[in-house]
Amino acid sequence: MPLKLTTYYCGSKVPELPGTNTFHSTELFRIYEATPGYAPVLIVASIDDKPVAKLLAALRKSVRMFPPGIIKRCEIYGTGEYFDDTLDKEAIFSDILERLTNEALRNSFLIEFRNLENAMFGYKSFRENSYFAVNWLRVRNSLHNIEKVEERFSPSRIRQIKKGLKNGAQIREVQTQEETHDFARMLHHIYSSKIRRHFPNIKFFQLLESHLMTKQQSKIFIVTYKEKIIGGSACIYSDDSAYLWFSGGMRKTYALQYPGILAVWKALDDAKQRGFRHVEFMDVGLPFRKHGYREFVLRFGGKQSSTRRWFRFRWDWLNRVLIKIYE
């Protein structure tokens, strides 16, 4: 039975597809499509017109500090979703990866596979397509063997939560598009100056609210003080896990309210109440560098483990050099 690959660039042409993985869903495809600065690519593998796998990638602009400039990069969360356990997933992924690599390198300088559930999956295929791996870290909180998320918090973290609430901070889900807009503006200022360079267009969060929140695949929490949004977090839910994608707070201006801490606490507590087994913190950094955000989230009782990210550059000479460095 020959495997057929179909590539989609337009949401109106994507058919109804099975699956429960939010990171490879049609809904997220349409969010990327409608967000300025993003362009989605969805590859669907099928046998006899029956879908057996799919993989969603997002092409976006990236600011490069040195040398200064703007490049396009392609990001993929995980290695796709597969619907038939009787088939060889590695073989299907190999075909999808070859197609994606050829498609993405036409318009992007860098391809990055991140947040791999199984760090060894597709190893041979990545190597055959000239990708190189960089060791990375992941931080996850297990929620299934505890009654309350606070059981694993450090004592100082629990005191800070109590103080923040006592000092007038309140936490809840966003209720209006205006609140979503204000949350995104606040978080954009924090990310651009403190955490990382890239932050999506504000429309991305408005689309999360309209496309994913109705199906309980996403939530945005805000921390308020005297009716002003001073912190918050945005989560994505996929299968039995929650993913804290963005979070932050105005910790200097509102130090006594601990907005960043309350935003993470609310995301963890809500995930526990809804029965998710894990919460994973996105983008906690390289293992050989200190990372302030990683140190921050570890005090909520999560555990760090080693994983990897796979990279592929358009320039063959640069790719060959980096393969020798990281092999």
Q: Which residue has the tokens 């629990």?
A: 158
Q: How far is CA 23 from the centre of its chain?
A: 8
Question: CA 139 to CA 57: how far, in whole Å?
Answer: 23
pLDDT tens for the chain, residues 1 to 327: 689 999 999 999 999 999 999 999 999 999 999 999 999 999 999 999 999 999 999 999 865 544 445 778 999 999 999 999 999 999 999 999 999 999 999 989 999 999 998 888 999 999 999 999 998 888 899 988 888 999 989 899 999 999 999 999 999 999 999 999 999 999 988 876 554 557 888 899 989 888 887 778 999 999 999 999 999 999 999 999 999 999 989 988 899 999 999 999 999 999 999 999 999 988 776 666 666 778 888 888 888 888 899 999 999 888 889 888 887
Contacts of 4 (CB under 8 A, 6+ apart): 45, 46, 47, 49
Domains and CATH numbers, the chain: 4-129 (3.40.630.30), 139-306 (3.40.630.30)
pLDDT at position 299: 86
- CA–CA gap between residue 62 and residue 56 (Å, rounded): 19
Looking at residue 164, what is its pLDDT? 96
Structure tokens at 182: 């204000």
Q: Which of 68, 57, 24, 35 is nearest to 200 (CA)?
A: 35
Residue 193's pLDDT is what?
A: 57
Amino acid present at 140 = R
| Confidence (pLDDT) at 39 | 95
- The answer to whether the CB of 240 falls within 8 A of the CB of 276 is yes
In whole angstroms, what is the distance from residue 269 CA to residue 278 CA?
11
38 contacts 58 by C-beta, under 8 angstroms = yes
Say which residues have a Cβ less than 8 Å from residue 311's Cβ, sequence separation at least 6: 110, 111, 112, 113, 131, 132, 133, 134, 322
Phi, psi of 250, deg, nearest 5: -85, 75
- The amino acid at residue 288 is F
Please state, in angstroms and rounded to a whole number, the distance separating the CA atoms of residues 14 and 12: 6
Strand partners, 206: none
